[in-house]
Amino acid sequence: MKQFIEKITFFLVLVVIADRVFGNLFALACRSGKVEYICNQCDQDLLIFGSSRAEFHYNTRMMEDSLGISSYNCGASGFGIINSYGYLKLILERHKPRIIIYDVATHFDLEKSDNFKFIRNLKTKYDNPSIRDIIHKVDPLEKWKMKSLVYRYNSCWLYNALRYFFKKNDYMLTYNHGFKPQNKIFKLNTRRTEKDNFVIDSLKMSFLEDFITSVYSSVYMVAVISPTWDGGDEEKIAYAKRIFNKYHIQLLDFSHSPKYYHHDEYFADLAHMNATGANEFTRDMIHYLRNHYEQ
C-alpha cells in the first residue's frame, strides 16, 4: 500500500509537470488564427460579430472601401453571444470601435442549448478576469478544470498547432478582413428540421444584455437578422426584437425580405448566403449605414 501511494504521488507530480510543459507549448503554438487576431490585434472601427452567418454574409472589404471606415468581420462558425461577448470585452480593453453590427442567430444567441461549446476558444484567455467571469457563469466547475494549463487548450490546440507549424497564410486575416465568401450555389434537395420547442436561455439573455450595455452608450450598434433562404422563425425574431428595443437598438430583419427570400442564386445553403448574396446584402447594409450613422 505504501509503495502504491508513493508511486501514485510521483505519477501525479509528473502529471503536473507534463501539464505545465505541454500547456506552455500549446500557448506558443496557438498564437495564430482568426481568434487570436480578434483577441490581440483587432483595432478596426467597424466590427461585425456573430456566427458563420456573420462570417459569410458581410463583405468587410467592400464596407471599408465604400464607407471609408476600417472594418473587420469577427464572425465565425459556431460563435454565439457568449463567445462574442468575451471577444468584445477583450477588444474594448484596448480599443473602442465606432460601429458594431451584431448578426443575430437565435439558435446561438437566445435558445437553450449546450453552452459549453461557446467557451472553447475563450478558455485560452482564462487569465483575463472578464473572460474568467464569463467561463465561471457558464459552468462553475470550470474553475477547477482550469487549474490545468493543458485543459485551457482543449479542443483547439491541434488545429492551431498545425496552422502554426505549416504557417498557413490565412488570407482572411489581412486581405479579406475576416470575411469568408461561400462559392456554392444553393440546390433545393433538403428541408430544415423543424424544432418543436423554443426555450429561452436566461444565461444567453444575460450575456446579450451585457454585450449591449458594454457599448450602447458609446458605440453605434445595429442588430441584424441577415437573410435566410426560407425565412426565420417569427416568434424567435419577435423575441429578439423586444430585447433590442429595450435598449433602443435597431434590429434590422432581412429574414423575410422579398429580395432574398427563396432566391436560390443568393444562397449556398438554407442558412448561408453565397458570395453573390453576401455582396448584395453588404450593399444594403452600406446603404443603411450611410443613411443612419452620423460620424
Partner 1 sequence: MRNLFLLTVSYALYLNWKPVYALILLFVTVMTYATARQMERTERRWLVVWLGGAVSVLPLLLFKYFDFINETVYDLLASVGLRCELQGLNWAIPIGISFYTFQALGYLIDVYYKRIQAERDFLIYALFVSFFPSIVAGPINKASQMIPQLRALRPYFDYGKAVEGLKMLLWGMFMKVVVADRLGLYVDTVMPNYMNYTGLTCFVASLFYTIQIYADFAGYSLMAIGVGKVLGFELTENFRRPYFAISVTDFWHRWHISLSTWLRDYIYISLGGSRCSKVRNYWNIFVTFLISGVWHGANWTFIVWGMMHGLYQIIEKAIVQQKCNYGWLGKSIKILITFMLVNFAWIFFRMPSLADAIGILAQITRVDSTFSLYFDNNTFLYAASGSSILLMKDYTEEFFPNRFQILNSSNIYVRWAFYLLLVVLILSSGVLGSDQFIYANF
Give the binding site for partner 1 (CB under 8 A). Answer: 1, 3-4, 11, 14-15, 18-19, 22, 26, 114, 116-117, 139, 145, 148, 150-151, 153-159, 162, 190-193, 269-270
CB neighbours of residue 272 within 10 Å: 24
CB 59 within 8 A of CB 282: yes
Shortest Å, Cβ 37 to partner 1: 17
Shortest Å, Cβ 182 to partner 1: 13
Shortest Å, Cβ 114 to partner 1: 7
Nearer to partner 1, 113 or 279 (CB): 113
Rounded Cα distance between 295 and 284, Å, is 19
Shortest Å, Cβ 241 to partner 1: 27
Q: How far lies 253's CA from each of 9, 13, 232, 256, in Å? A: 59, 56, 9, 7
Instruction: Enter the C-alpha cell of residue 190.
Output: 433538403
Indicate the burial class of 260 (C-beta count within 10 angstroms; 0-12, 13-18, 19 or more).
Answer: buried
Nearer to partner 1, 31 or 94 (CB): 31
Shortest Å, Cβ 19 to partner 1: 7
Nearer to partner 1, 150 or 205 (CB): 150
Nearer to partner 1, 54 or 138 (CB): 138
Rounded Cα distance between 112 and 82, Å, is 12
Reference 178, options 85, 77, 276; nearest CA is 77
Nearer to partner 1, 23 or 209 (CB): 23
CB 183 within 8 A of CB 271: no
Collapse the DSSP code of 101 into the 3-class scheme (helix H, G, I; strand E, B; otherwise coil) and give the result: strand
